[in-house]
Structure 1
Amino acid sequence: MTLSEGAGQLPSRRIADAVRELITSGELAPGDKLPSERELARRFGTARNTAREAVRLLTEEALVTPVHGKGVFVREKQRLFRWGNDRYSRKTYRETGLTPFRLEMKRQGKRASIQAVAIDRVAPPYDVAERLGVSTDEESVIRRLNEYHADDEPVQLVTTYIRWSDAEGTLLTEPKTGPGGIHGRLEDKGHVMTTGRDEITARMPTHNEAQFLQAPSGVPVLDVLHTSFDQDGEPFEVTRFVHRADRSGLVYTFDVEP
């Protein structure tokens, strides 16, 4: 399809469909610059405002990215995968001395950085309290909020909740948790992770999430609510991971019970 084909539709959608076809077919590659609004309007015989609306539609679909003063570019198809099963494996990452996120980024040839935003004792939200078996009416957990970057690009917000009775007097109340990370300190308290549960939903981001993740309009997030269970089947840690859905993927391998 060429940029001049298509008929019988709203003019803005006709332009958007033609450009989308060029992107999905590979004729417009990631990083390529789109024709200007003026050029799109000329080719399709429409007003410039109509071409601008077509670009807005493509932006909402996360196919293109406007760059102020430079133009509109086909988005790079970068995906950061968060592995499911082995990201908590002691053999997989603990022996490397890296946290799961740092190991995942190393696998993908990216540089990881983590910024601690807040560490405080709080009353937990209901979904966290329900999973940890603690009260929502008192400051029963410590909350650790961190921002994660890959090659300086913001990729996920991570909020971890741990019972105050497990965190009090330990490095879990500090930005640096020492060898083995959070799970190493929880093992010191007698909680060895043997199973975990991830509850995954897709939703639109909050204003703060969209701002940090630099999510274009219309791009949802993946919300992963993780619960760790110890050797006695007791839940001892809940973490919420918020990822841009267009930049992240989840990979799980599992056994099928007979």
Structure 2
Amino acid sequence: MTNQTEDRRPLSRQIADELRNEIESGQHASGAKLPSQRQLAERFSAARNTVDEALKILAQEGLVVAEHGRGVFVRVKQPLIRLGSDRYSPKHRETGLSPFLIECARQGKVGRFEVLNIERIKPNKELAKQLHVSEKAKSVLRRENVFYADADPVYRVTTWIPWRIAQGTGLLQEEVPHQYGIHGVFEEKGHVMTRINDEITARMPTPEEVRYLNLSPGIPVIEVMHTSLDQDGEPYEVTRFVMRSDMNGLSYNVPVE
């Protein structure tokens, strides 16, 4: 490490940078336990609280995980659950599985979902504009779910559907009684998906998202705001995916128009 007299950065930052370089170079492998705080304090001629601060910097960056009573470990890189541009393709229907379940199976995991809420609501102005509905009435059905791969929550999904489409259908039930799920119901109501619009952003999670997705410090989320458009160009569904960035990826293969 650079001599402290030549480096004006705080010692905790110097230690964090040194350990980060070692992790990125493979000196500390994925899942490996880092030396103890006592060992690091001796190595860097630093106080224990300075070492602790350095490790907190790495944890906030998502590089390490502290386990109470066991130590600090290099974060294990999880196989990614990929949300792809072909996820709504009819070709997946032959399997009898949703795209999410197919991707989980590819990773040797079992996918499932938990319904948090199904409610008829009054949309805000932006959502009403997106779905071509009234903002002055309860004109939208909202469905909220958390999706799991094995025991790990991987994303939270909120779907908004015009009430004129959802009323009297299986969309009001936790388990949608259609072999092709909600999109099968949409097609029966005359809305065949012909185009999608996805707006993608990355950000730090809200406290509620940290709780639902069991996020460690330093892990951002990917937010995908998806709109389905039917054969007439009409929007009939808006869905927000809030995804753990350490377990999810995006894969798009689209024609250039």
TM-score for the superposition, normalised by structure 2? 0.94
- 1:146 maps to what in 2? 145
State the secondary structure of the residue aligned to 1:56: helix
Select between 154-163 and 200-209 the one with higher mean Cα deviation.
Answer: 200-209
Give distance in 1, aligned partners of 2:108 and 2:125.
38
Contiguous gaps of at least 5 residues in structure 2? none
Select between 142-151 and 95-104 the one with higher mean Cα deviation.
Answer: 95-104
Give distance in 2, aligned partners of 1:210 and 1:148.
14
Give distance in 2, aligned partners of 1:234 and 1:108.
35
Select between 173-182 and 241-250 the one with higher mean Cα deviation.
Answer: 241-250
Which letter maps to 1:6? T
Contiguous gaps of at least 5 residues in structure 1? none
Deviation at 1:216, TM superposition (A): 2.4
Tell me whether 1:120 sits opposite 2:119 in the alignment.
yes
Q: 1:84 to 1:130 in 2, by over 3 A?
A: farther
Give distance in 1, aligned partners of 2:31 and 2:55.
15
State the secondary structure of the residue aligned to 1:86: coil
Please show how residues 97-108 of structure 1 align to structure 2 within 5 Å. Answer: 97-108=96-107
8 A contact 1:6–1:18 mirrored in 2: no
Which letter maps to 1:251? S
Tell me whether 1:46 sits opposite 2:46 in the alignment.
yes
Between the two proteins, the alignment pairs up a number of residues equal to 252
8 A contact 2:79–2:107 mirrored in 1: no
Deviation at 1:124, TM superposition (A): 2.0
- 2:213 maps to what in 1? 213
Describe the superposition over 1:155-189 as per-residue Cα deviations: whole angstroms up to 9, x where unpaired: 10000111111111110000111210000011110
Which letter maps to 1:30? S
8 A contact 1:222–1:243 mirrored in 2: yes
- 1:63 maps to what in 2? 63
- 1:6 maps to what in 2? 2
Select between 62-71 and 93-102 the one with higher mean Cα deviation.
Answer: 93-102
State the secondary structure of the residue aligned to 2:196: strand
- 1:28 maps to what in 2? 28
Select between 213-222 and 63-72 the one with higher mean Cα deviation.
Answer: 213-222
CA-based RMSD of the aligned residues comes to 1.3
Give distance in 1, aligned partners of 2:224 and 2:11.
39
Deviation at 1:205, TM superposition (A): 1.3
Describe the superposition over 1:61-90 as per-residue Cα deviations: whole angstroms up to 9, x where unpaired: 000001111111100111423333210001
Which letter maps to 1:114? F
Which letter maps to 1:160? T
8 A contact 1:117–1:147 mirrored in 2: yes
Give distance in 1, aligned partners of 2:196 and 2:64.
37
- 2:170 maps to what in 1? 171
- 2:254 maps to what in 1? 254
State the secondary structure of the residue aligned to 1:34: coil
TM-score for the superposition, normalised by structure 1? 0.94
After superposing on structure 2, the runs of 4+ consecutive aligned residues of structure 1 that deviate more than 4 Å are: none
Q: Kindly, what percent of the aligned residue pairs are identical? A: 52
State the secondary structure of the residue aligned to 2:246: coil
Give distance in 1, aligned partners of 2:24 and 2:204.
24
Give distance in 2, aligned partners of 1:256 and 1:148.
32
Describe the superposition over 1:110-157 as per-residue Cα deviations: whole angstroms up to 9, x where unpaired: 111100111111112333222111122221111110011112111100
Give distance in 1, aligned partners of 2:233 and 2:59.
46
- 1:130 maps to what in 2? 129
